[in-house]
Structure 1
Amino acid sequence: MAQRIDDLLDLVAAETGLDDFGDPSFRDGLERVHDAVAATADLTPIGRAVFEGQTKAALANRARTAAWERAHPGLADERVTAPVFVIGLPRSGTTALSHLLAADPANRSLLGWEAQDSTPPPETATYRDDPRLHAARGAPSVLDRLNPGFKAIHHDPPEAPVECTVLLAQHFASLMLSTMYNVPDYDAWLLGSDLTAAYDHHHRMLRLLQSRCPGRWFLKAPVHCHAIDAVAARYPDARFVVTHRDPSVTVASTCSLVTSLSGTFTETDHRYTTGRTWSANLAAMADRVVDFRDRNGDERFLDIAYPDLVADPVGTVRAVYTWLGRDLDPATEAAMRAHTGRNRQHKYGRHTYALEEFGLEGGAVAERFEGYRKRFGIAPETRSTGGHA
């Protein structure tokens, strides 16, 4: 494996003209995910091409970032101040809330094009007119061609914020990789790992991206839940907005998302493995948030119930702003209402799912999350309201 990784690094170095990939600790995750993909992912030729291209793109962005840092030593003086993280179990409204917050131009979001092609860093004057944004809008989507129905489950247009998992995947320490490929051994390694170095990379990327386009970061990723100690250590002044939804629904919906996305790149039915792996992943996320807050208190956290977000999205943002000591001005509120009007739930179709599809039993899942549910007063969703989104 080490030789294969060396060959891959040599290939990227030849293509970019750069052979410094930054902190070498990324190799551990890279080797782990490559081993797991080879062992259990059962990729099609298209899947193998996507995985190779994704890996090379991540390494190339690392190399370009390291080169930019060497050429601009002043980056070391950049400070990421009081970021706001939207977290919560997957499928609990984190995407909807982060997209809504991005409708406020005063908030610094992480857009897909800048996360994946980070140098030169964006500039405030051209942030919404950057050639890389136009290129991303015009580029054909492999996922849309291979799996057009996935939009009904999850969709991030180029001008919308993406999860921090994109940055963490460049350190090869990200559950984003697990949503695309059946790699339960990698998941187990990741959930047991010290992610300090991964969040050091995350910090370096934010520092770079804000250097010419500053602002207070409003970031999003459910996976921050499982690394909450590393996040809080790296960003001691961070605040956390936590969305909460019936875990029985979030587990089923997440398993459906993973099955659809990973199924794009394999012909093997991994549904039962997905059920075991992702119910464990979500349980670990819930447990770690509860444990962190039991040890450190709730002062840095604002809890948002999913039904409240769905019923009154702009009112939910107003509550977030009040908590942060900010006002929601009329122009921003109008922009957010326009956004909600353009992006109604089920815009691309209705997403349906059931725990039983993934070999899971409702009573066992409910029991596993009972402590989390009671801790935050999460109401169960009925069949009439659950099973979609």
Structure 2
Amino acid sequence: METETQCDVVAGNVNSIIPNPILRKDVVLCDDDLSAEAKVQFDFHSEILQAFQLNARIVLANDRLTPIGRHLFCTSVEQNYKNCKDVLNYVASHSELQMAVHPMPPLFVLCGAARTGTTLLYNLLACDPACRAPLLQDMTNPVPPLARSDSTRSTFAQKLSDPIVSDYERDRNASHPCFKYEEDVNILYQSGLLVPHLESPESTELATWFYNDTNKDFAYKYHKTFMKMINSVDTPQSHWLLKTPYHIFNLDTLIRHYPSASLIMTHRRLHDVLPSSVRLGLAFASIYFDSNRHDAAIDKKTIVERRLRATDIQINRIVEFRRAHSHASVFDVLYDDLIAKPIDTVHCIYNHFGLKWSEEFEQAMITWLRDNPQGKQGRNSYTLEEFGLTHDTIEQKYEEYNRMFLNREDILKTDDGATKSANSTPDNIITVADSIE
């Protein structure tokens, strides 16, 4: 099993980016290499192509992108679409994948808002040898799908020598560290569901499409197809584990395609979440915009506003979903509990869902916490004032969310309740200070 991976650059496989000395300025999107069988079997393929075309048209119209930023976008779009076609061709040519030969085990989806402790919790939950969380290589090099034990797996990370990209990776990792288990947002990327933050400041077309939660069935049809494929070669003993805040934008669609899925939602004080989310957005976007431009403040202002809007939509979608689905299978985790008592918190999750605990699992979590201390891949600092925020305005704007999830007395329920909080227990096994968000 691999021990090192390389994170993607916003929406694609970084291995396809450099060192080609000729920087790309445009994309070529064509479905000629999608088999006739795949086109018939997967009628959503045309919507995926349209999604990529929409992203390319709008983002490449932004003349504020740096040459390398434009290149990164072009290569990642093409790589994601290629991966999509490879997956659809593979599944179409393997008819057994449409049969119940490899049934999907229970699915657990970690879908707290960004910067609420999901990365820490995801990596701890993925320590269970009886579960499976997708590796980055599973998603960025998907065909042929490989079992975790496959000896042909390689540590495919390739360190880039370009100093610009190296600086970018360092700053990005300080906000969002890279680990071998990555978010299944990499699967959604392959359906054309890309981050909408790169369109020009005066444009809203891409964001309007992206945040529309009534038209993303095609993305989750592809997601389910992808999951069937990788499950067919390596079915976990107990359950699948997925994680990305992207699912929050389309929770109803997620549940429609995975009706038996159980959700785990993390919650953190929003006066910490909002500036942290903005800082992450600035780190990810830094390579796409020129900080030395005389009007560089426009780009920073745009990214700040768009990250705040993204978090605002996430918070509102969580509240709306929980109002409408009061009996959904959801477990709530408080960030403070997770940070103070991470293993106890995971134990609460396992107890709630009736999952089997093992000594091997617990020891793996202890080892992971020891090997991944706070700030191992860098740290970022941030304040409310830096982004024009105040504690009072946040409290007022998100009063309902705070009341629903951050007031212990409101979210701690009896054993009969479908939703619980990860309540701290007196028997602490190991603690961390502020760790991976």
Establish whether TM, by shorter chain, passes 0.5: yes
In structure 1, the gaps of 5 or more residues are: 1-5, 380-384
Say if 2:27 and 2:75, in contact at 8 Å, map to a contact too: no
Distance across 2 between alignment mates of 1:244 and 1:179? 28
Of the structure 1 ranges 240-249 and 326-335, higher mean CA displacement relative to structure 2 is found in 326-335
Of the structure 1 ranges 336-345 and 188-197, higher mean CA displacement relative to structure 2 is found in 188-197
Say if 1:305 and 1:378, in contact at 8 Å, map to a contact too: no
Distance across 2 between alignment mates of 1:187 and 1:356? 26
Distance across 2 between alignment mates of 1:375 and 1:192? 24
Counterpart of 1:262 (choices 285, 306, 312) is 285
Counterpart of 1:90 (choices 104, 110, 114) is 114
Say if 1:283 and 1:368, in contact at 8 Å, map to a contact too: no
Distance across 2 between alignment mates of 1:275 and 1:29? 25
TM-score by length of 1: 0.86
Distance across 1 between alignment mates of 2:265 and 2:323? 15
Question: Identity percentage over the alignment?
Answer: 24
Distance across 2 between alignment mates of 1:17 and 1:224? 27
Residue 242 of structure 1 and its aligned partner are, at CA, apart by 0.6
Could you report, residue by residue, the CA deviation over 1:325-376 in whole angstroms, capped at 9, with x for unpaired residues?
1232112101110000111122233311123333444433332211111111
Aligned residues: 369
Amino acid at match of 2:170: P
Residue 235 of structure 1 and its aligned partner are, at CA, apart by 0.4
More helix by share: 1
In structure 2, the gaps of 5 or more residues are: 1-25, 291-295, 409-432
1:57 aligned onto 2:79: yes
Q: Which residue of 2 aligns with 1:75?
A: 97
Residue 108 of structure 1 and its aligned partner are, at CA, apart by 0.9
Q: Which residue of 1 aligns with 2:382?
A: 353
1:209 aligned onto 2:195: no
Distance across 1 between alignment mates of 2:394 and 2:198? 20
Q: Secondary structure at the match of 2:241?
A: strand
Say if 1:104 and 1:335, in contact at 8 Å, map to a contact too: yes
Q: Which residue of 1 aligns with 2:343?
A: 314
Residue 174 of structure 1 and its aligned partner are, at CA, apart by 3.7
Distance across 1 between alignment mates of 2:313 and 2:172? 26
Say if 1:180 and 1:261, in contact at 8 Å, map to a contact too: no
Q: Which residue of 1 aligns with 2:218?
A: 197
Could you report, residue by residue, the CA deviation over 1:231-281 in whole angstroms, capped at 9, with x for unpaired residues?
110000000111000122111111111111111121144222223222222
Q: Which residue of 2 aligns with 1:248?
A: 271
1:168 aligned onto 2:188: yes
CA RMSD of aligned residues (A): 2.8
Q: Secondary structure at the match of 1:208?
A: helix
Counterpart of 2:166 (choices 144, 147, 150) is 144
Say if 1:124 and 1:214, in contact at 8 Å, map to a contact too: no
The structure number with the bigger radius of gyration is 2
Say if 2:29 and 2:53, in contact at 8 Å, map to a contact too: no
Distance across 1 between alignment mates of 2:363 and 2:199? 36
Of the structure 1 ranges 265-274 and 161-170, higher mean CA displacement relative to structure 2 is found in 265-274
Of the structure 1 ranges 295-304 and 52-61, higher mean CA displacement relative to structure 2 is found in 295-304
Distance across 2 between alignment mates of 1:289 and 1:102? 24
1:120 aligned onto 2:141: no
Distance across 2 between alignment mates of 1:130 and 1:250? 40
